[in-house]
Chain A
Amino acid sequence: MIVDWEAEFQRTIDADSRIEPRDHMPESYRATLIRQIAQHAHSEIIGMQPEGNWITRAPSLKRKAILMAKVQDEAGHGLYLYSAAETLGVSRDQLIELLHTGRQKYSSIFNYPTLTWADIGAVGWLVDGAAICNQVPLCRCSYGPYARGMVRICKEESFHQRQGFEILRVLSAGTAAQHAMAQDAVDRWWWPAIMMFGPTDDESTHSQQSMTWGIKRFSNDELRQRFIDMTVPQADALDLTLPDPALRWNDERGHYDFGPIDWAEFWQVVNGDGPCNRQRLAQRVAAHVEGAWVRDAATAYAAKRADPGAGQAGSSTAAA
């Protein structure tokens, strides 16, 4: 029996069912998913750096323990996502290689520095908040392993956003200097967080096909608006100002209006000239190289235990 698998594939998606690893799928669907999931995985792994930067200098033992838990979560999220990408027929080593050689990207947001402790608050509140907006719809993505990974990730992310909010709340209600530090962090992170949703809908190259395939459920602009609408009242609760004079409620639209986004900055950072692009990648590669002996040791130990005679009496066959 000849089955039109391409029609069957689209029928599965249109019925809001899921595509599983060994199903027939168009090569471009597979490639799109690999690109997106890998970029997402890389973002989690690179995202450990700006936060890891403050672990040794967290202001209390409690904050240190929380920040370590959060950075561990980012590592875990990267692993869930690499596993999901691997179900599409790409190996972990290939993915790491593509990251390290700059052929696959990670989210540009992680190319901004975390200059003060308040940045850890702003990253949790704004960056993780924006990430959650992007990620919640991915829990219903048409590709099963990705959707399942996202369910786990979204569950864990909500603690990330809340702890960031709480850091800012405590600073904002503190001394004048602490309040100013919180405001400064929000001033620097607001626009990059807004840019995390990617180019506007008329500029976004991959969006339409991804919608048809059920990989994406909402457009970049829809998600950006949703994030802004959620965040403005939270900023009021924090007694902090968002650095956009054009930000105001529009009764007619039922949304907040906001000012123009500096897309020149966005593209500059995407194309490699953000404040920390080179540092992030260099640090990632160095960590991988410096960890090689651990991976080698684990491999050697596993081989030795599997075959205790090997390497001692020459040939283990002879010893047996």
Chain B
Amino acid sequence: MAGAGSPNGSVPGSVPGSEATEPASRGWPLWEVFIRARRGLAHNHVGSLHAADAELAMGMARDVYTRRSEGVSIWVVPTASITASSPDEKDAFFASAADKPYRHPTFYDVPAGVKHL
């Protein structure tokens, strides 16, 4: 487990944004799989798999993640193509939204009896 012990929790050679941190099963890159459960819904991340190319990744995604009609559409994305926010998901990157409560309707007082507001 090379690098798995690094204190910041990241692993050398890791792909930012991926759930998986170590690429490549001997020559087979990692793909992230997204599935649209039914029309009207967005594609959701469901997992990952190793495959030689996009076509095989698509076939494997169907076999691994839709054996019970879980989807009407699949995206497979090379894990290496994903750019993610910083490794620590609790850090200051999102902090600027925290001090702007006026972006929420609940910030504003509405006099009793006023409707449709």
Give Cα A20–Cα B85 distance, bound, in whole angstroms.
Answer: 14
Question: Does chain A have a CB within 8 A of B56?
Answer: yes
User: Of the candidates A88, A149, A298, which one forms a contact with B21 in the assembled complex, judged by CB atoms under 8 Å apart?
Assistant: A88
Residue of B whose beta carbon sits closest to that of A76:
B64
B10 touches A295 (CB 8 A): no
Majority secondary structure, B binding face: loop
B1 touches A34 (CB 8 A): yes
Residue of A whose beta carbon sits closest to that of B9:
A24
B52 touches A298 (CB 8 A): yes
Question: Does chain B have a CB within 8 A of A23?
Answer: yes
Majority secondary structure, A binding face: helix
Q: Which residues of B contact A20 (CB under 8 A)?
A: 89
B50 touches A92 (CB 8 A): yes
Residue of A whose beta carbon sits closest to that of B45:
A148
User: Of the candidates B19, B25, B88, B89, which one forms a contact with A91 in the assembled complex, judged by CB atoms under 8 Å apart?
Assistant: B25
A92 touches B25 (CB 8 A): yes
A298 touches B56 (CB 8 A): yes
Question: Does chain B have a CB within 8 A of A161?
Answer: no
Number of B residues, CB within 8 Å of A: 38
Number of A-B contacts (CB under 8 A): 97
Which residues of chain A from 4 to 25 have a CB within 8 Å of any chain B CB?
5, 8, 20-25
Give Cα A89–Cα B49 distance, bound, in whole angstroms.
Answer: 15
A302 touches B53 (CB 8 A): yes
In the complex, how many angstroms separate the beta carbon of B26 from the nearest chain A beta carbon?
6
B68 touches A22 (CB 8 A): no
Give Cα A301–Cα B88 distance, bound, in whole angstroms.
Answer: 38
Question: Does chain B have a CB within 8 A of A73?
Answer: yes
Per-residue 0/1 for A276-313: is the Cβ within 8 Å of any B Cβ (1 yes, 0 no)?
Answer: 00000000000000000001001101100110000000
Give Cα A91–Cα B14 distance, bound, in whole angstroms.
Answer: 11
In the complex, how many angstroms separate the beta carbon of A281 from the nearest chain B beta carbon?
20
Q: Which residues of A contact B7 (CB under 8 A)?
A: 5, 24
Q: If the complex has contacts A301-B52, A305-B53, are A21 and B21 also in contact, measured as CB distance less than 8 A?
A: yes
Q: Which residues of A contact B5 (CB under 8 A)?
A: 27, 30
A24 touches B88 (CB 8 A): yes
Q: Which residues of B contact A73 (CB under 8 A)?
A: 67
Give Cα A156–Cα B11 distance, bound, in whole angstroms.
Answer: 32
A90 touches B22 (CB 8 A): yes
Question: Does chain A have a CB within 8 A of B47?
Answer: yes
Per-residue 0/1 for B1-31: is the Cβ within 8 Å of any A Cβ (1 yes, 0 no)?
Answer: 1111101111100100011111011111010
Q: List 29 A-B residue pairs with CB atoms under 8 Å apart, sorted by A's residue number.
A: A21-B18, A21-B20, A22-B10, A22-B89, A23-B89, A24-B88, A25-B9, A27-B4, A30-B4, A69-B67, A72-B63, A80-B47, A83-B19, A83-B47, A86-B22, A89-B1, A89-B14, A89-B21, A90-B22, A91-B24, A93-B25, A93-B26, A295-B52, A298-B56, A299-B27, A301-B52, A301-B53, A302-B53, A302-B56
Q: 7 other contacts beyond A23-B9, A80-B64, with CB at 8 A cut-off?
A: A21-B18, A21-B20, A22-B14, A87-B18, A88-B21, A91-B22, A94-B1
